[in-house]
Chains A and B, each alone.
Chain A
Amino acid sequence: AQSVTQLGSHVSVSEGALVLLRCNYSSSVPPYLFWYVQYPNQGLQLLLKYTSAATLVKGINGFEAEFKKSETSFHLTKPSAHMSDAAEYFCAVTSGGGADGLTFGKGTHLIIQP
C-alpha cells in the first residue's frame, strides 16, 4: 500500500520569497513520485516527476524537488515566488507496476502575498 502526506493544507508566502511545499510518502516498493499543480477550475498539470534517475528533479516554472529516500520525502521548492504560482499543489506516488494509478496527497493551497 502507498500513501502520501502533505504537511500544511495552506501555505502563504510573500512574492519573491522561497516556496517550500512538503511531501512525505510511504511505499513498499521503489516509488515514482510526482508533483501536479491545479489552477482554479482546471485540470492537473505536471510540474515534475521522479522516476529513479537523478534525485534532484527540475520542473516547469522554476520548481524543483529533491528525492530523499532516508527521509521518505519529496519536497517541492521554488527560490522566488510569483503571483501566478497561487494554486493547489498535489504530491502523488505510484509503484509503476501495471496500471494502479496515482495515490495523491490531500493537496496544499499556495497563497502568494503581494
Chain B
Amino acid sequence: DTAVSQTPKYLVTQMGNDKSIKCEQNLGHDTMYWYKQDSKKFLKIMFSYNNKELIINETVPNRFSPKSPDKAHLNLHINSLELGDSAVYFCASSQQGSDEQFFGPGTRLTVL
C-alpha cells in the first residue's frame, strides 16, 4: 500500500495555464508538506499544513496555493504557470513536525 501518493507523475503544460497536483497520505499523519526540487536537485519547503495552521515559505509566489479538503489530502494549485516553475514537486507527511517525513514519488512539472 502506498503511504504517500501523488498524481500525476508527469505534467507537461503551456505557460500561462493553471494546473493542480494532488497528494494523499494514508498514514493518519497530522501534517503535510509540499517541497520543490529544482534542476540542481535542491529541495526547498514551499508549504506545511496541519489542521491548525498553514505555514507558507515567504519566497513562494502567491500563484501557488495549497488546498486541503481533509486531513489526508493536500493539493497544490498553480496559476499562470511560468517557465521557472518547471521542477519536481514532492508531497510529504509526518505525525508531528519533529518526526520523520514520508515522501511521495514526486510530480515532474514541465512548463513549455
Contacts and interface: CB of A to CB of B under 8 A. Distances in A.
Given A99-B33, A100-B97, 11 more contacts: A34-B101, A36-B103, A43-B90, A49-B100, A88-B41, A96-B98, A98-B97, A100-B45, A102-B45, A102-B101, A107-B41
Contact of A100 (B42, B48, B105, B106): B48
Nearest to A98: B97
Interface of A: 32, 34, 36, 38, 42-46, 49, 51, 88, 90, 94-104, 106-107
A100 B103 contact: no
Interface string B19-47: 00000000000010101000011111100
Nearest to B46: A101
A90 B43 contact: yes
Greatest chain B CB density within 10 A among A43, A46, A88, A97 is at A43
A43 to B, nearest CB: 4
Contacts of B48: 99-101
A59 B33 CA distance: 24
B55 A34 contact: no
Contacts of B106: 42-43
15 contacts: A34-B101, A38-B41, A42-B106, A45-B103, A46-B102, A96-B98, A98-B55, A99-B97, A100-B97, A101-B55, A102-B45, A102-B101, A104-B44, A106-B41, A106-B42
Given A43-B104, A43-B106, A46-B100, A99 B50 contact: yes
Greatest chain B CB density within 10 A among A94, A97, A103 is at A94
A99 B100 contact: no
A104 B104 CA distance: 16
A104 B50 contact: no
